A and B are shown apart, each in its own frame.
Chain A
């Protein structure tokens, strides 16, 4: 993670431009590895188990999936709007975001994804991708062919239900983000994004008590919230001055979880984390 741009860095770029001709296949580091998922299925299992108990058989089936492992640098597109993927990918390490660009070239990030997420799961049933997904940090991702996913769903109907539930939750998160960007002021808007990040990271065991990594630069956070980088910086500074958070490099520490939740108008119900105490 050494070449990642931390939140406090002066380089708040990372805005994709049309001429950024990048494809995961050409921008990988090292040779791709074709393997069975094995331990790489760990994050997926942890993610699915945030709201659903898997049986040993089902976990074994996920570990037995043929998987194509790829290391991808930061700020690279993994899939793009208009693509017709024949496979889905799960994040094993690192952070990615789902985004769209306006005709005028402005980017709106509509979701961030953490290890265990399968950000383009919809491509299993919707032929053409209606969004792009790019890495925020260096990532290790595991591609699984749609055929494999379909066979898994036929053989293990509870896994099919788990994938279905996962896309429903993705929809719930989008609804919350429309609310956030459309109706919340800057201060609760930023606080809400930080609350969601910490809650999701904690649910999959990636937050150390009240601390976790913030995978976004201020410019990316501006694209998440529909604000300008200056406004994001100002708002983060006020959150710090009010002793709600501490930011050191890319590490976020929540100093007062109850007050941050209140500031962010944050109710984690929409994340549907029923199987974890992080739902509190």
Chain B
């Protein structure tokens, strides 16, 4: 088991992890980051408060070992098409 820290970046907000989480290895930490980024993104991205959510994983020495980013792409057709005339 090793200690990993998961900092979260969401738009202008940066939430550092000061406590860490014990996990078996980097692969497990990467999975936790991916799942967390997806969950946090599910929460925040549809509201438009952030365009992307990134979870950065640091090891016990503070070195970055993995990053997971989720984004949501919205594309509205502009101008809005007019209904077809039949």
Contacts and interface: CB of A to CB of B under 8 A. Distances in A.
Interface of A: 8-13, 185-187, 218, 227-231, 233-234, 237-238
B33 A230 contact: yes
A186 B40 contact: yes
Nearest to A10: B20
Interface string B15-40: 10101111000000000110110011
A237 B19 CA distance: 11
B39 A231 contact: yes
Interface in B1-57: 3, 6, 8, 15, 17, 19-22, 32-33, 35-36, 39-40, 43, 55
A200 B3 CA distance: 34
Contacts of A233: 6, 17, 19
Nearest to B40: A231
B32 A186 contact: no
Given A185-B43, A186-B43, A234-B40, A228 B35 contact: yes
Interface residues of B, number: 17
Given A227-B39, A230-B36, A237 B22 contact: no
Contacts of A9: 19
Given A10-B19, A230-B33, 15 more contacts: A10-B3, A10-B20, A10-B21, A10-B22, A13-B22, A186-B39, A186-B43, A187-B43, A218-B19, A228-B36, A230-B8, A230-B17, A230-B21, A231-B36, A233-B6
B34 to A, nearest CB: 10
- Across the A-B interface, the 10 shortest Cβ-Cβ residue pairs: A230-B36, A230-B6, A228-B36, A234-B8, A234-B15, A186-B43, A231-B39, A10-B20, A185-B43, A237-B15
Contacts of B55: 230
Nearest to A11: B22
